Amino acid sequence: MVQEQLDYHIREVTLEDLQYTDSVVKIVNEAYQTGDSWTKARDTFDFDVPRTNAEEINGLIKENVSNKKTHILIYVFDTTHKEESVIGTLLANYPNDKGESEFTLLSVAPQYQSKGIGGQLMHCMFNRIKRMGATTVVLDLLDNRIDLVAWYKKLGFIEIGKKEFNWRGNTIAGVSSLLMKKDI
């Protein structure tokens, strides 16, 4: 069997990327909530709330290009075919006064997962936030997501503690948020 070569590029969003909002919402929600994704959290909780929506993504894009930036939003584009399409996202906050930057919305469309794209997104983010003054990247994730914890450890993250899981006011008995960090 011959596999098709995947060509992609990673860049910070622009206002022109508002056209991809529906695709991005689908990618993020599928990555977090469908059975086709090894990164899904749906097995842990059944909150009937999408991870994101068009209003949130559009707001993030508009703020990303404004003068009062608080974050960077990065997209991965598949350029294999004539018309490029978004296949991944990552949102990182500007570093705080301790040099820490937190990230979220790391999502790769399920059919593109396990091809190194998530790792490339992470390395792109490390480079960008380091230039902005970050010395440490922090994250929290569900502590029962063993595969994801192992993946982040492979990228050099270490566990630094736990806290009560709370997402939009929802908690889960027996599930905590695992806090991890990586010095960059």
pLDDT digits over 72-110, tens only? Answer: 999 999 998 888 899 999 999 999 999 999 999 999 998
Q: Supply the pTM of this predicted model.
A: 0.85
- DSSP letter at 24? H
* 110 close to 118: Cβ distance less than 8 angstroms: no
Kindly report which listed range (9-18, 30-39, 80-89, 107-116) carries the lowest average pLDDT score: 30-39
Q: Which fold has domain 8-134?
A: Aminopeptidase (3.40.630)
Which is higher by pLDDT, 30 or 13?
13
Inter-CA distances, 6 with 10, 108, 115, Å: 13, 14, 9
* 171 close to 164: Cβ distance less than 8 angstroms: yes
Ordered strands of the 8-12 beta sheet? 8-12, 71-78, 85-93, 100-108, 136-142, 176-183, 158-164
